[in-house]
């Protein structure tokens, strides 16, 4: 008997960071939120609360920017945050700290993680998540790269390259 999969998730990219503001690639660097990023996280929590708190669990990347966003949302919803190794942003190697490259879906990067390895890492993390028994969706707080890996895992064509900071988006598994 195969393990059931998540059919619906709510995804929220972390709030604004100094790297977002400065237009440089953070990748595996552990940057924190700006004041605006924290305000965005509070707004995301308010949006989820206005929807009747449609999430049963919160799963976060271990990176500071995602954890801080998840913590703000979790406090507002009264839910603990589970840290999920594997949901971190792609490791961009020699490109980290520089300008954001034009091709974020390139297969290889110098000194970094291949797109295939990144997808495999995120897929393994997603495949291991507990499925809420009450029919509600989990909230996954992570990164733009994780967004693309999640969309691929769910069979959904992402409608944007950069999901907005701290804006909850519901994804339903494709055919």
Tens of pLDDT, residues 67-124: 999 999 999 999 999 999 999 999 999 999 999 888 888 999 999 999 999 999 999 9
| Residue 161 maps to a domain | yes
| Averaged pLDDT score across all residues of the chain | 93
User: Does the residue 3 lie in any domain?
Assistant: no
Look at residue 1 and tell me if it is in a domain. Answer: no
Q: Which of 13, 15, 20 is nearest to 41 (CA)?
A: 15
Active site residue 14: yes
Beta-carbon contacts of residue 102 (< 8 Å; ≥ 6 apart): none
Most distant CA atoms of the chain, gap in Å: 49
Confirm whether residue 15 is marked as ligand binding: yes
Q: How far apart are CA 108 and CA 68, in angstroms?
A: 30
Total domains, the chain: 1
Q: Is the pLDDT of residue 14 over 70?
A: yes
Provide mean pLDDT across the span 24-34.
Answer: 96
Q: What is the mean pLDDT of residues 3-9?
A: 79
Q: For residue 126, is it within any domain? A: yes
In a domain, 2, yes or no: no
The confidence band for 1, taking pLDDT boundaries of 50, 70 and 90, is very low
Position with higher pLDDT, 5 vs 96: 96
- Would you say residue 37 lies in a domain? yes
- 165 occurs within a structural domain: yes
Angle at 107 (CA atoms; ends 106, 108), nearest 5 degrees: 100
14, 88, 113, 143: the catalytic one is 14
Q: Which one is catalytic: 68, 88, 89, 96?
A: 89
CA dist 84 and 168 (Å) reads 18
17 carries a ligand binding annotation: yes
Is residue 65 a known part of a binding site? yes
pTM for the full predicted model: 0.94
Please report the pLDDT score of residue 51 as a whole number: 87
The pLDDT of residue 3 is above 70? no
In a domain, 129, yes or no: yes
Is 42 a residue of the active site? no
Structural domain boundaries, residue 26: 8-172
Check which CATH number belongs to the domain holding 124 and give it.
3.40.50.1240
For residue 53, pLDDT beyond 80: no
């Amino acid at each position: 008997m195969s393990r059931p999969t998540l059919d619906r998730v709510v995804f929220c990219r972390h709030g604004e960071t100094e790297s977002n503001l400065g237009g440089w690639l953070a990748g595996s660097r552990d940057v924190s939120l700006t004041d605006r990023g924290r305000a965005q996280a509070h707004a995301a929590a308010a949006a989820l609360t206005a929807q009747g708190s449609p999430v049963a669990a919160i799963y976060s990347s271990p990176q500071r920017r995602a954890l801080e966003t998840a913590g703000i949302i979790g406090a507002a919803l009264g839910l603990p945050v589970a840290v999920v190794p594997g949901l971190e942003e792609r490791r961009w190697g020699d490109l980290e700290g520089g300008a954001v490259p034009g091709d974020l879906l390139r297969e290889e990067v110098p000194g970094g993680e291949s797109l295939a390895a990144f997808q495999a890492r995120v897929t393994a993390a997603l495949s291991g998540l507990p499925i809420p028994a009450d029919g509600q969706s989990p909230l996954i707080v992570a990164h733009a790269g994780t967004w693309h890996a999640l969309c691929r895992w769910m069979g959904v064509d992402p409608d944007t390259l950069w999901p907005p900071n701290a804006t909850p988006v519901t994804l339903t598994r494709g055919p």
